[in-house]
Amino acid sequence: MKDIQNTFDNRGIGIDKVGIKNIRYPITVLDRKNDIQHTIASINMYVDLPKQFKGTHMSRFIEILNEHRGNINIKDFPKILENMQKRFNANSAHLEIEFPYFIEKKSPVTHSRSLMEYNCKFIGIKNGAGADFILVVSVPVLTLCPCSKEISRYGAHNQRSFVTVHLRFKGLVWIEEVVDIVEASSSAELFSLLKRPDEKYITEHAYNNPMFVEDVVREVAKKLKRNKKIVSFSVEAENLESIHNHNVYAYVEYDRGIK
């Protein structure tokens, strides 16, 4: 049969990224406590397309996933990206794997056990011989407004906040390490299961530890800088405000090679 994708395109415009998005696929993730964790990811795969070719063979992306079945993890990212380059005769390859990661936590007073979900992403890019890898971890936390506490006769407004960390590193940085740092930089951490004594503790702990969104990103950045394995990072925090009709936001980035 005629290969339409390989026919000549006369418009003279190359495409930076072409591929597949949002394919659900099982992967394994390194787990600090249990060695590995099985989860389901949403995967995006792209390559560049030279200007002379009409299209890309999309089925090859699925073939590559199937070839790496059971080994789709951070260790095999370079192999998968190289495979994409070779199979498509491409200069650049992009692989994005987004997945839920679960950590067992015990509530602070009753020690009730439950699984807490964190949204994570692996991003891999290979341009020619150069490669880049980014770990993304999003952590929900509780923040309590210092200003509200200061000006109120009693009580203070609080909100759920989402802190997202992008980082590049050498060696191994555990997802749990990032989660620990973010949760320790908030007014209080969140849990899936809390009994009344736990709720009392969390409420009072947050009240005694008020944090602006600016405080959160600064505290996370300060702690990340101490880890010499981390080469560069960005931290963003968004508070889902409880008494305003808007959210508040802060962002900071750092590169050990520059600063």
Q: What angle do CA 77, 118, 256 make, to 5 degrees?
A: 60
Distance, CA of 31 to chain centre: 15
pLDDT at 169 over 80: yes
Task: Give the model confidence (pLDDT) of 49-103 as tens digits.
Answer: 988 888 788 999 999 999 998 888 888 899 999 999 999 999 999 999 999 999 9
**CA–CA distance, 191 with 232 (Å, rounded to integer):** 29
Determine, yes or no, domain membership for 9: no
**Residue 144 within any structural domain of the chain:** yes
- Predicted TM-score of the model (pTM): 0.93
Interval 10-18 mean pLDDT: 90
**Inside any domain, residue 113:** yes
Q: Which domain holds residue 224?
A: 14-255
- Measure the CA–CA gap between 259 and 257, rounded to whole angstroms: 6
Q: Is the pLDDT of residue 36 over 50?
A: yes
- The label of the residue with tokens 């073939």 reads 63
Question: Are the C-beta atoms of residues 68 and 21 closer than 8 Å to each other?
Answer: no
Q: For residue 33, give the DSSP letter.
A: T
In a domain? residue 8:
no
CATH of the domain at 35: 3.10.270.10
pLDDT in tens, 90-120: 999 999 999 999 999 999 999 999 999 999 9
pLDDT score for 259: 45
Asked if the structure places residue 242 within a domain, the reply is yes
Q: Identify whether 92 is part of a domain.
A: yes
Domain count, the chain: 1
pLDDT digits (tens, 9 = 90+) for 115-139: 999 999 999 999 999 999 999 999 9
Q: Does a structural domain hold residue 69?
A: yes
H, E, C per residue of 10-35 = CCCCCEEEEEEEEEEEEEEEEECCCE
Torsion angle, alpha carbons of 24, 26, 30, 31, to 10: 100
